[in-house]
Amino acid sequence: MRARARPSIRSNPNLGRRLDVAARASMPTIITIGLLLLLATPLGLPGQAQWQRATALCCIYFWSLFRPASMPPLSVFCIGVLADLLAYAPLGMSVLIWLIAHGLAMRWRRGLTRLGFVLVWFSFIAVATGAATLEWAMTSLLSFKFLPPRDALLEAGIAMGAYPILAVWLTRAHQTFANPDQA
């Protein structure tokens, strides 16, 4: 004989709680856009354009792995358009590259999130290298000349080195103020 399910009383969340959940769920996108805007200001950093793109790639990859519901493809698209507008880059180049990185992170998500940080970092290194290479190839193709790969190598190197530092901070955000479950 089947046991009957007992009706339960569900509390209807008030407006404040719903706003809190929405704000926490949108934190990954807000953090990424905030870092993009911060690095778009004239800080005088050497290779600042590469820092901007590398940081955004780190954030997109991290959030796509660990909080995919809060980093949907539409957010990645909007972040890419904003980055292209801020950097005066060909419109759509960052969108394409970051959507590919997002798709790879989503595809590898199940296996990578169970593994340790070092393997996640190595997978990011592969993605960052591929993203920088694709960006360099597309820029060379669009300018109709073979550009030196120096900027692409710098961007890949910055991304590889910045990911562990950003991952610590983003993990802390993931566990605290950016967690919709804690609202």
Q: Which domain holds residue 57?
A: 16-182
With respect to residue 5, please indicate whether it lies within any of the assigned structural domains: no
pTM for this entry = 0.87
Residue 72 structure tokens: 């949907």
How many domains does one find in the chain? 1
With respect to residue 9, please indicate whether it lies within any of the assigned structural domains: no
Query: Taking 60 as the threshold, does the pLDDT of residue 2 lie above it?
Result: no
What does each C-alpha distance from 79 to 57, 73, 179 come to in angstroms? Answer: 10, 10, 21
With respect to residue 163, please indicate whether it lies within any of the assigned structural domains: yes
With respect to residue 6, please indicate whether it lies within any of the assigned structural domains: no
Determine the pLDDT at residue 176. Answer: 83
Determine the pLDDT at residue 33. Answer: 96
Query: Taking 90 as the threshold, does the pLDDT of residue 152 lie above it?
Result: yes
64: amino acid identity, one letter: S
Query: Taking 90 as the threshold, does the pLDDT of residue 25 lie above it?
Result: no
Q: What is the mean pLDDT of residues 41-69?
A: 93
With respect to residue 11, please indicate whether it lies within any of the assigned structural domains: no
How far apart (Å, rounded) are the C-alpha atoms in residues 94 and 79?
8
Determine the pLDDT at residue 115. Answer: 86
